Amino acid sequence: MPSSVRPEPVPDPGTAGAWEGVVESIGPKVHALRRERGMTLQQLAHLADVSTAAVHKVERGDMVPTITTLLKIAGALDAPIRHFVEDAEPGPGAVHTRFAGATAGGPVPVTGSGDAFRTSGTATRVAPGDERAGLRRPGETLLVVLSGRIDVEIGGEPYAVTAGEALHFRTDLDHSSANRGDEPAEVVWVTVTDD
């Protein structure tokens, strides 16, 4: 064999295709983190300066993003690029959270991460006068009031939800909530998005 011709290297069967799992996990990781951040496809695309169709294809695994596209998406999601390309350990099968008395410092997550679960939830104290407009997107929310009262408007319909009551509603409708009382309200918000 002439010295200028080199035989093609034979891939090591132990490493051949090892990168495929990493590539296949990029889309689900982008999708999970986008949902965890409460973003729509359009919002992420706008922030990343990437087309909505490209983000959708990446999330579905129909397109492997270029390094530039992945850097833009990672920046828009405020995540290091390694989050999308490192092998992750399997998420927990269950998450046990203690939140009693902890809500004075702000919302306390009561669900696992978006990488392992579809549902996100927080326990929080809503101060008198606090108001919030909900983000309209496909999905649903469950509000459980532990103490106090929260006034909620869904699609123009008012609801007064007091201690010991819950309200379950679709989030594709206009919705807002407020504590119009004189005392703080302790609540748990649980949301599942369809996108």
pLDDT tens digits, one per residue of 5-54: 555 554 454 444 556 777 888 999 999 889 888 888 999 999 999 999 99
Question: What's the domain count of the chain?
Answer: 2
Does 114 map to a domain? yes
State pTM to two decimals.
Answer: 0.54
pLDDT tens digits, one per residue of 163-178: 999 999 999 999 999 9
Average pLDDT for the chain: 83
Report pLDDT for 136.
Answer: 84
Q: What is the strand order of the sheet 185-193 is part of?
A: 108-109, 119-126, 185-193, 139-147, 165-170
Does 135 map to a domain? yes
Does 64 map to a domain? yes
Same domain, 111 and 168: yes
Same domain, 130 and 69: no
Does 9 map to a domain? no
Three-state DSSP class for 145?
Answer: strand
pLDDT tens digits, one per residue of 73-112: 999 998 888 888 876 556 667 777 777 666 666 677 777 7
Same domain, 65 and 145: no
CA gap 108, 114 in Å, rounded: 15
Domain that holds residue 41: 18-85
Higher pLDDT, 95 or 124: 124
**Distant-in-sequence contacts of 160-165, Cβ < 8 A, 24+ apart:** none
Residue 190 has φ and ψ, to the nearest 5°, of -130, 125
